[in-house]
């Protein structure tokens, strides 16, 4: 999910709810490794002035009263959560980074971290072994292709994504995507594309997201690009929720395609996430589902996401390891022997 809630950034209403701090625990033994394919290295105010709340999970999605200004609905998500124990975002960039990196260390996680290059680099410098550098961008922002090529060459980017064009109403089959897909294929760089949910009602949040449409949740928009770029290593971020039939069809037709479970893993009503995940497993795609938190500005969301997979009653221990590590390890080609 992209934290693009620009209209909300003008809010001055912020009550001083303090970010909650997780008590630090020391684990006797290093836990088994996890790869988080969908972590964001953001600034603390990237979704508006902190603190901002999220439910993990949401018990239900708030309804919108059309008599109220549309910004009131946004407030429901940012400041007036509908759950009892929301996560509140840290107040500063430093707290956000430190708390996130502490969790990566404690839970033995390596994360594909995306955001502005400057922020991602800072996280990388703080914990080099825990961060895989990724660039969050969209094709309409006009990042020059040659610039990207240079950054890859210089080792500044190892993954393209999150590519969040869906918020702007642009799908991967849009001609504007072509040069970026061609570059990713040429350089053999993995690419993660947002296909699936943004915040509910995001199309009403402001001018930047007014072209977002529900039909863009479908991963079928990726099919022609995959045919044009047979060597492209792409993963569908958010697993194309809720278009399960389209997702199953795409995974079946394109055996090189992977997905991550970003945001749906911790913020979505648990029964719905489990039903979706179980369907992907039962359809036979357990080797291409990767753990991704989509942690944006709430460090504890990483742990909530882990707990959600750990508690899934329909998964074996081996299948959980595939999600947490083995599948991403194979997709990223981190360790050719595999684990």
Where does this chain bind Zn ion (CB under 5 A)? 1, 194
Closer by beta carbon to Zn ion, 191 or else 315: 191
Minimum gap (Å) between residue 28 Cβ and Zn ion: 36
Nearer to Zn ion, 238 or 320 (CB): 238
Specify the DSSP element, H or E, that contains 133.
strand 131-137
Is the Cβ of residue 194 or residue 288 nearer to Zn ion in the bound state? 194
Which C-beta is closer to Zn ion: that of 37 or that of 74?
37
Nearer Cβ to Zn ion (47/326): 47
C-alpha dihedral (90, 92, 97, 103), degrees to nearest 10: -20
Axis crossing angle, helix 93-106 with helix 117-126, rounded to the nearest 10 = 50
Q: What is the torsion angle, in degrees rounded to the nearest 10, for the CA atoms of residue 43, residue 46, residue 52 and residue 54?
A: -100
**Residue 307 CB, nearest approach to Zn ion (Å):** 21
The CB-of-335 to Zn ion minimum distance in angstroms stands at 27
Task: Give the C-alpha separation, 314 to 307, whole Å.
Answer: 14
Cβ of residue 163: shortest distance to Zn ion, in angstroms?
9
CB of 164 to Zn ion, least distance (A): 6
Residue 18: Cβ-neighbour burial (10 angstroms; 0-12, 13-18, 19+):
exposed
For Zn ion, the closer of residues 1 and 152 by Cβ is 1
Q: Which residue is nearest to Zn ion (CB)?
A: 194
Residue 72 CA to residue 65 CA, distance in Å, equals 9
265 CB-near residues (< 8 Å, 6+ apart): 273, 291, 292, 293, 294, 305, 308, 309
Residue 162 Cβ vs Zn ion, minimum distance, rounded to whole Å: 5
Q: How many CA atoms lie within 13 A of 77 on its CB side?
A: 23
In sequence order, what DSSP letters do the residues of 282-309 get, joined into one string?
HTT-TTSEE----BSS-THHHHHHHHHH
């Amino acid at each position: 999910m992209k934290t693009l809630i620009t209209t909300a950034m003008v809010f001055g209403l912020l009550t001083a709810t303090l970010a909650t701090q997780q008590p630090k625990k020391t684990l006797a033994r290093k836990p088994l490794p996890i790869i988080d394919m969908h972590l964001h290295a953001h600034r603390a105010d990237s979704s508006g002035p902190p603190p901002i709340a999220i439910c993990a999970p949401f018990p239900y999605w708030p309804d919108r009263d059309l008599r109220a200004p549309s910004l009131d609905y946004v407030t429901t998500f940012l400041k007036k959560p509908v759950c009892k124990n929301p996560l509140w975002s840290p107040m500063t960039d430093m707290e956000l980074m430190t708390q996130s990196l502490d969790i990566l260390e404690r839970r033995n996680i390596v994360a594909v971290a995306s955001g502005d290059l400057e922020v991602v680099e800072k996280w990388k410098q703080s914990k080099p072994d825990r961060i895989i550098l990724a660039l969050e961008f969209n094709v309409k922002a006009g990042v020059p292709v040659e610039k990207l090529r240079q950054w890859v060459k210089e080792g500044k980017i190892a993954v393209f994504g999150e590519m969040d064009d869906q918020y702007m109403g642009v799908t991967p089959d849009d001609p504007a995507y072509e040069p970026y897909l061609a570059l990713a294929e040429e350089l053999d760089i993995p690419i993660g594309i947002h296909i699936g949910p943004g915040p509910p009602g995001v199309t009403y949040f402001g001018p930047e997201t007014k072209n977002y449409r529900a039909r863009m949740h479908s991963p079928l928009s990726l099919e022609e690009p995959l045919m044009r770029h047979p060597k492209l290593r792409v993963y569908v971020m958010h697993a194309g929720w809720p278009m399960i039939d389209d997702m199953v069809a795409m995974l079946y037709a394109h055996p090189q395609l992977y997905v991550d479970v970003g945001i749906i893993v911790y913020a979505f009503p648990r029964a719905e996430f489990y039903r979706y995940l179980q369907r992907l497993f039962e359809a036979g795609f357990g080797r291409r589902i990767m753990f991704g938190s989509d942690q944006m500005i709430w460090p504890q969301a990483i742990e909530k996401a882990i707990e959600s997979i750990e508690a899934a009653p329909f998964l074996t221990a081996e299948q959980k390891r595939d999600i947490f590590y083995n599948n991403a390890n194979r997709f990223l080609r981190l360790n050719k022997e595999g684990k």
